[in-house]
Amino acid sequence: MFWSRSIRRRPAAATVLALLALVATVVSVLAPLLLRAVEQANLDATIRDAGLGGTSIAASAEIPDHQLNEAEGAVIATTASASDARRWLPGVVVAESSASASYVVPDQRPQQTSSVQLAGLATDCRKAGLSDGHCPSGADEVLAAAGSDVATGTRLRVTVQSVPEQVLTLRVVGTYDPDSHVGRIAAGAGKLFGSGGDGDPDLVMSLGGFEELALEGNVWSVTTLAPGLRLDEVPAVVEDVRATNDATLTTTGADSAVSVQQRIDVLVDRVADGNDAATVIVAVAALQAIVLAWFAQGVAAGRIGQARAAEWGLTRLRGLPARRRLVTVLAEPVIATVVGAAVGSVVGFALAAACAPLLLGADAPAVEPFRAPVLAALAASLLGSLVALVVASARAARVPLVDLLRRVTEPRTLSRTGAVVQAVAVIASVVGIAAVVTQPRISGPGVALLAPTLVAVLLAVVALRVGVAVVRRRAVRPAGSLTELLVVRRIARTPSVLTTAVVVVMGVALAVSSSQTAVLAVRLADDRAAAVLGAAAVLDVEVGAGRSFVGSVRDADPDGRSAMAVETTTSGSGVGRLVALDSMRLAAVSAWDPAWGGRDVAALERSLRPAGHSPLRITGERLSITLADVGAPDGTAAQTLQTADQDDVDLVAVVQAADGWHHVDLGGVRAGTLTSAAGAVPCSAGCRLVWLGLETHDSESTPYGLSATVTAIDVDGRAVSSSWLDPDRWRDRIGENSLPSGGPSATIGAHADGLRVSWLDPTGQGSPSIAPWDSPEPLPAVVGKGTALQPFAGVRDGALGIGLNGESLVLRVVGRAPALPRVLGDGALVDLSTAGRVTDPRGAGSTHEVWVAPGATARVTAALRTHGITVTGHRTLADAERRAERAAPVLGALVGLPVAGAALALTLVVVAGVGVIGARTRREDARVLRTAGFGRRALRRSLLLENFLPAAAATVVGAIAGTAATLLTAARLPLRAQALPPMGVPVGPVTVLVVTVSVLVVAFAVSVLVARSGARPTRDGGAR
């Protein structure tokens, strides 16, 4: 056929079109294939991280008197809808006693008591990881958890804390694995799905044995998501969860008061949020790449049309019918495009399969090439390519015959249609960029606002018009050299070569923007991991009895550059999320960037550790305080408050030793010397006096007031300095008082004989007290930018928070920070040493951690051990960063890399293809110039510059467009949760430079090859 002869005679055009169709198809299928893999990987990771509690449905019912079977049937019926083996593991039914049980662990010295519960397992016990022995059958046979130091064959005397108390003799007939799926449920269903709590793994018997003992408790039916759940099955899982919840409203469920505990809906929401973010990020790159592919194919088809215009014009001169002319024009390019698309689909599938493990790791899910979105992308790519061919070829097929006779197939001026198209493109780009700038976040509809393409089109069109104007003006002036003459006149005569530069601008802009987005997504994930964890390594620790946490860590790291003591309380919200750290070591140890706090570390330390008086220190074991003038409160308070009965209130001193605060009760308030009991003051190594006040033991909580003059303070019979009684060294202590007014208070005044104090307690339940000025109160705190505060009336910048002991405490907000260590934008940061002087550091409300600098973990761990601190857990920033980089938004940004790479390859194919398509014209020009006496080197240089200069200028403009697009859209893409920590500068110059230089190098190589081909002489001395 004629088209096959044409391809054999001139294969260049067909080859270029086939290559462009191939790359365009690869661009089209890569995004949906890799996006699906990202979404499946996100589902797999979320299920893995959720654990058993987050992936199970647990139905429970209380066991009525001797009616275990009825409750068992009710819970099994409730979870019956979640039984499809493709989505759910087989259900586990277990009964658990509500009363705890205890037994003495045999052969343990010193003697240890284990606190457990009794469980009855209906499921085959071998599924619980039966290690040895056999399954229990009677009421006196149980399985013990492996690792519980109870061997098979042991007889245990178990005390059940029921009413009345029961003592059972149970024989251990085997051990089960408490870490297996069934074993974890049997080891403590209530701990997993109920009220929680601590305790050793349950002793497990058969369900029949449990029923025989007639124990009170609950029966559970637990069904868990099966491994390898597919995304397509998630809607069915949601329906199963809904049906399970509805089953509690049936007659059976209501009669047994069945309740359902599950967090699968939370898991599904988390997966959906991550996948939606990944979809938006991938779509931004993919849609722009597809638009670029269609435009590039149109440009190449237009260049082919200009080269073939004379040939196609002959069909009109010969009077061929319109149908025949249409076939002549379109048959060859359509066939080449279809063949390229077919090959491109195979290459795209293979490339996606190769990229998935590189982007998602070795456990990446397999690509799914035959899903509807992939097939739709293939069809859209092919259809768009064919439309681009038809549109681009139509203009060349209608070149006026007079122009063909003049051998002018390319217009030298912009047509009216072209001017309108370019004007519309500029206006649309400006409007689109304005819309991107004004919307706070790019979501589904916002994907249409393709910022890199919009910026690229705007800059490219403007640069194109400016370039054409400059070249034409320069062409009418005398040339400075032969090369300038040839290059300028050639571009002025055929300005369409600059249209190829528009493709380069768009391709480079997309490559720069996508690579910047990927790098930024990884950096933001690493930054968030560093901000949340806090340091290169975090050690969970337990502090030995009698040890100072801060002092021990400082002793373990005397130079202060490797370890930092930290206490955290992050289970609450707002100022209930507290991080107390040794701020003097923050800069040296923490991975937190001070820029995230909005101030340098030195300023932060000064605000958290304000200067104060020296502490009042006590060294001894007995404290005596002498009072005089004990009576009614001073001032007008005597008129509103009853004078305390001296038998109802005690004078209390609180001292701080290395291991925390200690209350020293000095007895009822009376005139004279009040002395503590022997050994009540644990200050042989020295203590700090924290506060001095009253405590009432009046059962009726009667409001009271009392005043006294402190005339002397003695420690072990030795009087302290008289400066202790200076009123300027004392202040009213707020303490745990959460009332903005009307709470316990004290007033301090001077007296000739000592320190005059008037204590008032309108509540009758507090501890009015005074404290030395060695510690600031309220406690200085820097709070996160998004922290909700409850102001404390009467105190400037005061807010109600919590202390290290979990009790309420007034904080003074000394600043707000965009992101704080561990709590980010919702919580408070305080200095640990300062907090330990205002609130008891020994409370159970916080956890102890040691943050460690890079490379110091082993040394610090050993040093902590020698100073009485035991390491119980270890977390590293490297692990946190790896997990953060597996988040769906980050993976979605990484998918943009191969998509943008394919789009960039498409751009370079266009540059090379246009050069190949125009090779025949260049050879004719070169032959004429060589006949006129021009040298081969000059011709080659002119051809090189003619091809390279537009591409190089377009590359620079594209890099600028991609950078500008990144600046516009980075903060609006869903790359991270809650936009924390602050993004900083989103553009990395190294990434822009690498992409730009790479494209310039490849474009130069392509231009060299085209120049050598065009300047090569023929055998007869011309150019061929």
- Domain layout of the chain by residue ranges: 2-39+271-528+885-1015, 56-224, 545-612+778-867, 617-772
Say if residue 841 is preceded by a cis peptide, omega within 30 of 0: no
Q: Determine the Cα angle at 500 with ends 961 and 927, to 5°.
A: 145
Strands 563-569 and 847-852: antiparallel
Whether the Cβ atoms of residue 284 and residue 516 lie closer than 8 Å to each other: no
* Rounded distance between C-alpha atoms, residue 113 and residue 751, angstroms: 58
CB under 8 A, 24+ apart: contacts of 462-467: 462/426, 463/501, 463/505, 463/953, 463/954, 463/957, 464/422, 464/498, 464/499, 464/501, 464/502, 465/422, 467/498, 467/501, 467/950, 467/953
Peptide bond into 110 cis (omega under 30): yes
β pairing state of 754-761 and 745-751: antiparallel
Give pLDDT tens digits for 760-786: 998 888 889 999 998 898 899 999 988
Return the SS3 of 68: helix
Chain position carrying tokens 């085209």: 1010
Closest alpha carbon to 778 in 823, 738, 747, 728:
738
520: nearest Cα among 47, 38, 966: 966
Q: What tokens appear for 164 in the block?
A: 């009345």
DSSP H or E run through 706: strand 704-715
So what's the pLDDT on residue 490?
Answer: 60
Instruction: Using alpha carbons only, give the angle 949, 950, 953 rounded to the nearest 5 degrees.
Output: 85
- What are the pLDDT digits (tens) for 658-711? 888 899 999 999 999 999 988 889 998 899 999 999 998 887 888 999 999 999
DSSP, collapsed to helix, strand or coil, labels residue 498 as helix
Residues 6+ apart with CB under 8 A from 649: 668, 669, 694, 695, 696, 697, 698, 704, 706
Q: Which residues pair with 519 in a beta bridge?
A: none
Which pLDDT score, from 0 to 100, does residue 112 have? 81
CA distance 922 to 1010: 10
Distance (Å, whole) CA 643 – CA 650: 14
Residue 110 confidence (pLDDT): 73
Q: How far apart are CA 664 and CA 956, in angstroms?
A: 76
Long-range Cβ contact pairs of 594-598 (< 8 A, separation 24 or more): 595/982, 595/984, 596/527, 596/531, 596/817, 596/818, 596/819, 596/820, 596/981, 596/982, 597/782, 597/817, 597/818, 597/819, 597/820, 598/815, 598/816, 598/817, 598/818
Using the CB atoms, write b or e for 466-488: b if 16+ within 10 Å.
ebbeebbebbeeeeeeebbebbb
CA distance 117 to 582: 42
User: What's the confidence (pLDDT) of residue 783?
Assistant: 93
* Cα dihedral across residues 131, 137, 141, 144: positive or negative: positive
302, exposed or middle or buried, with CB in 10 Å at 0-12, 13-18, 19+? Answer: buried
Kind plus residue range of the DSSP H or E element containing 623: strand 623-631
pLDDT, one tens digit per residue, over 260-277 is: 999 999 999 999 999 888
The structure tokens listed for 214 are: 């007639």
Residue ranges of the chain whose pLDDT lies below 70:
1-10, 109, 195-197, 304-330, 392-498, 571-574, 737-741, 843-845, 918-926, 928-935, 938, 1014-1024
C-alpha span between 131 and 607 (Å, rounded)? 58
- Residues 198 and 853: their CA atoms lie apart, in Å, by 33
* Pure H helices in 120-249: 181-186, 189-193, 207-213, 234-247
Amino acid code (one letter) for 66: H
- What is the DSSP track for 545-583? TT--HHHHHHHHSTTSSSEEEEEEE-SSSGGGSEEEE-G
Rounded to a whole number of angstroms, the CA Rg of the chain reads: 40
pLDDT, residue 888, reads: 92
Rounded (5°) CA angle 540-544-549: 65
Please give the helix or strand (H or E) that residue 657 lies within, else none: strand 649-657
Cβ partners under 8 Å of residue 10, min gap 6: none
Containing 300, the helix (H) or strand (E) segment is helix 264-317
| 828 alpha-carbon distance from chain centroid | 20
CA angle centred on 454, ends 450 and 457, rounded to 5°: 140
